[in-house]
Amino acid sequence: MARYQAVIFDLDGTLLDTLEDLADSTNFALAAHGFPRRSLEEVRRFVGNGVGNLIRRAVPEGTSPEAVERCLADFKAHYLTNMQNKTHPYPGIPELLKALKAAGCPAAVVSNKFDGAVKGLCRDYFGGLLPVALGETPERRKKPAPDLVVSCLEALGVPASGAVYVGDSDVDIQTADNAGLPCLSVTWGFRDRSFLLEHGASVLAETPQELLGLLL
């Protein structure tokens, strides 16, 4: 039996390991403009606040806003056709989502990744296991603002009091707090346990199996 009426997940670093594809598209865009490459660990630190901020952090200091926008456009175009080259679900995630569905607990995704990529990845990797998947759009503020979570809850027909948010970053902790949801933090993603604890995590899961035990 599920402890919640719905579970809202972050995507990158929580359900999918997307880091290498994000890094490849970042370096493609940087190279196209003659900028230095970034390492995988640098990109790991840059992600979490949307691809706009990823590129702004990746370009050299002092890059003009116009050049940043051109680099971002190149990133998006490359990522949309290369976002499944190395990306894969974390081990145990498909089984977790299937268990939630079997328990009658709908799962959804709210991500700061741009909306087209979020919907495409959720469809291709998880099929009908995630009936609602929302990403960044011009109409809604990205996380940690609560807008996307509020829209997701409305689509699910579930009140904030009946839902929980699951993520791997400080942004996810802030998002849950701003939306009035409890947050479960996972340690297998882009931020480690000590970082999460320093940024206010209260309940942590080391594995998808442990997370499932917190949800059912």
Q: Which active-site residues does the annotation give? A: 10
Instruction: Kindly give the residue spans of alpha helices, DSSP state H, lying in 103-192.
Output: 115-126, 147-156, 170-179
List, in order, residues 6 or more apart from 34 with CB less than 8 Å away: none
Tokens of 52: 């706009």
Please, are residues 162 and 5 in contact by the beta-carbon 8 Å criterion? Answer: yes
Question: What gap in Å lies between CA 116 and CA 180, rounded to an integer?
Answer: 27
Tokens of 214: 């917190």
